[in-house]
Structure 1
């Protein structure tokens, strides 16, 4: 079946926009083809520095004939309604049909040639493409991310004729800006197109560009007994900057290696898009870098390397200036400047935030086995690096530079470490702080953020989370769980809220619900069900205890005893709910009645044995032990429902059996709320 090939060729497309542009191109084309009844066997898009490309395989040569039945107004409706329906359908009144008192229009549409549909589709896509930023140029009204130069559009080996603001579609494309031929080349199918690009020094597939950069960069480093520092984000970016990426190994002045390695790497990455290189023997940065050129230089890249080294030296000289100047002023002497920096209009200045964090860190420290004075000292200085020259130049180094400056001042190592790590974890792959003082400060910083924004009712809504509160909550959860910490969330929320000038009723309850939702996300990643979290919470606010209960519950329900006992619990619950609708349930404990069935007597005995074992296990937070104690009731519960009629005609028997079921429910409810477990 025929093939469709489209290329939208423009000036340079920003690297950060390319991947999404490829996805948008595919989505828009697929949706529009499907709307016309054209379903390709395969549809693929590619994005690069100067082009968006689409190839669709297996499209029919023409659209099939279509018959539509449109429902109209009721028979007897006002003439205005019927006339409007006729205008919409293009029919006359005598062409309408009646069915069940309603007018219907039957419209037959002859199928159109696919090229005609494609021409309309491409123009609509170009005019409505959702670039984050776009521009107009010349005297036209066409908007594109950068000036659009060419449109290649070929279907089944023939050009699809159309024009968009003077840009005529044809079968020509261009290669590399410098290394390719000065003349465009022609392509009537994807194979010719891909071959033409390769001959003209363009790598079409972004994954191929990525692989080429990585393999060649590692080869250059290996030849010099060096090692490339992995940086997937930078690799993705530079693969969108060059059509014919060519890594070049350069050298820098070794004197810069006395700067903090994060400063060197950030300077390379942020401003120059260079990869850092390390010495595998020492694990430290080497006086080298890898840059990715867009040409194959005749001298092997020597001039490129030298030029990039000069630019890097200028950048690193700036960094050295900030490093030297910043260390002349102590962190404590910078605090006054924080009074002039607003954190949030309703939450005060950064200085006021620091005071809250300091006090909260001091209160949390004893709960974590940390030194309270060290935690307060770290809290007092944790935001001081925000007004340094280095962080002003490289905001991503906040916290990290504070740790370096604290160490340079000779402050205690736990204090410097806490300042360095107090933003951690900043993502799912980031490590959590390990040292007690660092944990106390990291928790204080995140809790102040969470409680503060919830207190002013700035909670996340839908997909919007401008203050990264979900990330902060997950950070607290990870610190607590990975550190094996035992904290009452309500208590720490109350401590943080007491330090705020603004109060809002319900803040603690809202936060607790928010944390439980975040805990579900965290445990889902560990393969645990969200309904088990609901069942295990049971008014608890200790994350460690909740997780231990969830894990024990998950293991228990995976057994035959757990599955059957859950079924028994559900059955007992349903009976008790039905009886509660009739009136209050009988109170008191069940008794052994004379002449009672053996199954009833056995269940009374089983509960009597299980209840004290469950209580002892829960007292020691041995949730697995509590589940084992419950499993001892399983056989008796099964036998009870098989051999005993709960709704006996004898009132005393009925009431005693309802009390027995209530006791089963209550005994299990002490471990978890099994009514919330699916199944």
Structure 2
């Protein structure tokens, strides 16, 4: 058996992209592992770890063999009748096949095997196991090429390409260096530690000594998760010592973890006078520009204290230089934010509206100013139909984009909407208008909160409907994974606002109105089926969203088959369908509904316009008709009250007469009048039964 040892593969690089670091680290480690497994150099359940720091990617795999075990293989060659002639001599076809594998009839291990009525010839071979020394450099290079790196770079005079220049390659199998060359580098056992705190180049005695050696001699915590946990521990400790708390900081913590190898947290301060600036400005300045962690008091108010994660650990008094240096750096940034805020407040938000005419929204749809006019009109239309304050909705839409031309948003685009709210309040606008300016961008991503008030929800709907209608009209429809304008996200935002609020939004009417608001040139070139395409797009998003929420696919399809005008009713319809499927009569009704649908599809336009009771030839026809008209008022009442579960449960009374009807009555009989009347009866029954969902879709789910 080949000797097993821990394997270490490490690339020592220039500083790697911080936001991509954990993804690169795990992908590199998994890529090496899977290629070792494919060559049978390690077992499928072998323990492994990936490491990633600003200047390294590494993987450590336990139980790696020097040589993989040989593997017996068999191959079905050809029928024996083709391989040998009537005299039993090998044919040219067999000799040619064996020669292609470097074999002759004398050294090939062949087996005859009866398969059905034919005798087949099999070839047995032994595939030699891969040798680690021969395979490792190749598989590491393969793993590197497979990394999710959008842009590669070259360095020096070589041809090697990677996301950053690579300076060292470590390939250790136990205590032994595995020879190999990757990215124009020969393998070795020497690594580099912290850029400033390490004692210099470090020799690794053994693959298992990698992490403790780097920590002790190189001052590097190589494990990304461990380094992140250590930073979090220090952050919480320092915050508690100040009597403060950390706000939302997970994303910044990930980024900072990718920027440091030996983290130490210090407390910094700035002048309290800067707290007069909106906290969002100060927080963004600290987090985005300086990677600082702002601190908040027990009531959630921003304080003038922040936490610095340094890549150096220095004893007092030298550590004071780190703190003072960072405090000096942040002050001009905060002063800039205060200057922008004060300058912006000298001009009313509405006065900036004409400047939007100079900003192109889309070269085929028009300017941002023209879009604001559409949003104002569409918001007013939506407000009328949703029983909201039309004046507030129109006002909020009119001002929604004005902060885009402020100095603060020009410097920090992430604050669009946020600053609009502050400036609107300073101008004396109603609070509902100010909140809508901020909230109309919500939900910005999956799981984001919705706008707080109805006015904000209306402007948010208008924002998304306008974008969808305009871009669909000019053919900018998402395909595959490509969605450059975020239209899938926009459609989901409309659905979430309408369903989760809920709002009685008539989706088809809203789509038609949004399309009607587009510029004449856009409407003129829009395909005739634009509204239909857009509605199908919404239905696809809705189906995906409901599936992720755990609803059964058959139930979703049954409800959406009716294309309900008000999508806010969909959850209640789904609950009603789920309850209906629990009823013992559900299989009968679902199967009958499917049968009805098939009959009506087969008959096409055939059938009478109305049911004529005088033409009933069988008692089962009359019984079904009377039962339908007995339950119909109750179904209508339940539907009017949106009591969908009760509407479906009322239909259960039809199970017995429907069953009897199909047992005794021939619908597509030869007599024309009877046939037409029975088809009319089934059409009326179909309309009665399928007002909550298309029950025929449920036939399989109901066990029919």
What residue number does 1:536 align with?
559
SS at match of 1:58: strand
Please list the CA deviations of residues 336-360 of structure 1 after superposition, one character each: whole Å capped at 9, or x if unmatched: 2222211111111111111111111
Please list the CA deviations of residues 568-604 of structure 1 after superposition, one character each: whole Å capped at 9, or x if unmatched: 422552477379759988764789989968xx88766
Is residue 672 of structure 1 aligned with residue 675 of structure 2? no
CA distance in 1, matches of 2:477, 2:296: 43
- Tell me, yes or no, if the aligned pair for 1:565 and 1:637 is still in contact at 8 Å: no
- Tell me, yes or no, if the aligned pair for 2:8 and 2:170 is still in contact at 8 Å: yes
CA distance in 2, matches of 1:317, 1:85: 80
Aligned equivalent of 1:298, options 315, 326, 331: 315
- Tell me, yes or no, if the aligned pair for 2:378 and 2:513 is still in contact at 8 Å: yes
Is residue 115 of structure 1 aligned with residue 139 of structure 2? no
Superposition deviation, residue 660 in structure 1: 7.3
Aligned equivalent of 1:57, options 45, 62, 66: 62
- Tell me, yes or no, if the aligned pair for 2:292 and 2:306 is still in contact at 8 Å: yes
Is residue 48 of structure 1 aligned with residue 66 of structure 2? no
Please list the CA deviations of residues 279-308 of structure 1 after superposition, one character each: whole Å capped at 9, or x if unmatched: 11x321000011111121212743222211
Per mean C-alpha deviation after superposition, the further-off stretch among 147-156 and 465-474 is: 147-156
SS at match of 1:473: helix
Change (3 A) 1:657 1:447: closer
Change (3 A) 1:523 1:112: closer
Aligned equivalent of 2:11, options 8, 13, 20: 8
Aligned equivalent of 1:609, options 609, 625, 630: 630
- Tell me, yes or no, if the aligned pair for 2:246 and 2:295 is still in contact at 8 Å: yes
CA distance in 1, matches of 2:402, 2:396: 10
CA distance in 2, matches of 1:407, 1:366: 25
- Tell me, yes or no, if the aligned pair for 1:40 and 1:57 is still in contact at 8 Å: no
Equivalent positions of 1:203-242 (< 5 A) are 203-242=221-260
SS at match of 1:59: strand
How large is the Cα RMSD of the aligned pairs? 3.6
Superposition deviation, residue 11 in structure 1: 1.5
CA distance in 2, matches of 1:411, 1:374: 10
- Tell me, yes or no, if the aligned pair for 1:127 and 1:142 is still in contact at 8 Å: no
Superposition deviation, residue 659 in structure 1: 7.8
Per mean C-alpha deviation after superposition, the further-off stretch among 48-57 and 64-73 is: 64-73
Change (3 A) 1:333 1:216: same
Equivalent positions of 1:194-593 (< 5 A) are 194-200=211-217, 201-280=219-298, 282-299=299-316, 301-501=319-519, 502-503=522-523, 504=526, 505-537=528-560, 538-557=562-581, 559-561=582-584, 564-571=585-592, 573-574=594-595, 577=598, 581=602, 588=611
Superposition deviation, residue 391 in structure 1: 0.8
CA distance in 2, matches of 1:413, 1:648: 64
CA distance in 2, matches of 1:610, 1:488: 28
- Tell me, yes or no, if the aligned pair for 1:89 and 1:105 is still in contact at 8 Å: no
Superposition deviation, residue 95 in structure 1: 9.2
- Tell me, yes or no, if the aligned pair for 2:161 and 2:183 is still in contact at 8 Å: no
- Tell me, yes or no, if the aligned pair for 1:357 and 1:448 is still in contact at 8 Å: yes
CA distance in 1, matches of 2:143, 2:373: 54
Change (3 A) 1:123 1:544: closer
SS at match of 1:264: helix
CA distance in 1, matches of 2:173, 2:353: 67
Change (3 A) 1:41 1:632: same
Per mean C-alpha deviation after superposition, the further-off stretch among 524-533 and 343-352 is: 524-533
- Tell me, yes or no, if the aligned pair for 1:421 and 1:442 is still in contact at 8 Å: yes
- Tell me, yes or no, if the aligned pair for 1:72 and 1:105 is still in contact at 8 Å: no
Superposition deviation, residue 529 in structure 1: 2.6
Per mean C-alpha deviation after superposition, the further-off stretch among 617-626 and 270-279 is: 617-626
Q: TM-score, normalised by structure 2?
A: 0.85
- Tell me, yes or no, if the aligned pair for 1:414 and 1:438 is still in contact at 8 Å: yes
Superposition deviation, residue 106 in structure 1: 7.2
CA distance in 2, matches of 1:390, 1:88: 72
Superposition deviation, residue 650 in structure 1: 10
What residue number does 2:86 align with?
none
Please list the CA deviations of residues 400-441 of structure 1 after superposition, one character each: whole Å capped at 9, or x if unmatched: 111111111222222222212111111223221132322221
CA distance in 1, matches of 2:593, 2:390: 51
Change (3 A) 1:569 1:274: same
Unaligned runs of 5+ residues in structure 1 are: none
- Tell me, yes or no, if the aligned pair for 1:173 and 1:187 is still in contact at 8 Å: no
SS at match of 2:61: strand
Please list the CA deviations of residues 516-558 of structure 1 after superposition, one character each: whole Å capped at 9, or x if unmatched: 122223323432234323322313221112332222222322x
- Tell me, yes or no, if the aligned pair for 2:420 and 2:437 is still in contact at 8 Å: yes
SS at match of 1:632: helix
CA distance in 1, matches of 2:670, 2:145: 79
- Tell me, yes or no, if the aligned pair for 1:572 and 1:661 is still in contact at 8 Å: no
Change (3 A) 1:125 1:534: closer
CA distance in 1, matches of 2:379, 2:340: 30
- Tell me, yes or no, if the aligned pair for 1:569 and 1:664 is still in contact at 8 Å: no
CA distance in 2, matches of 1:83, 1:594: 80
What residue number does 1:629 align with?
650
Unaligned runs of 5+ residues in structure 2 are: 84-92, 113-117
* Corresponding residue pairs, total: 666
- Tell me, yes or no, if the aligned pair for 1:64 and 1:110 is still in contact at 8 Å: yes
Superposition deviation, residue 323 in structure 1: 0.9
Aligned equivalent of 1:193, options 197, 206, 210: 210
Please list the CA deviations of residues 9-53 of structure 1 after superposition, one character each: whole Å capped at 9, or x if unmatched: 112111112122123214432443344344442343222211111
- Tell me, yes or no, if the aligned pair for 1:209 and 1:245 is still in contact at 8 Å: yes
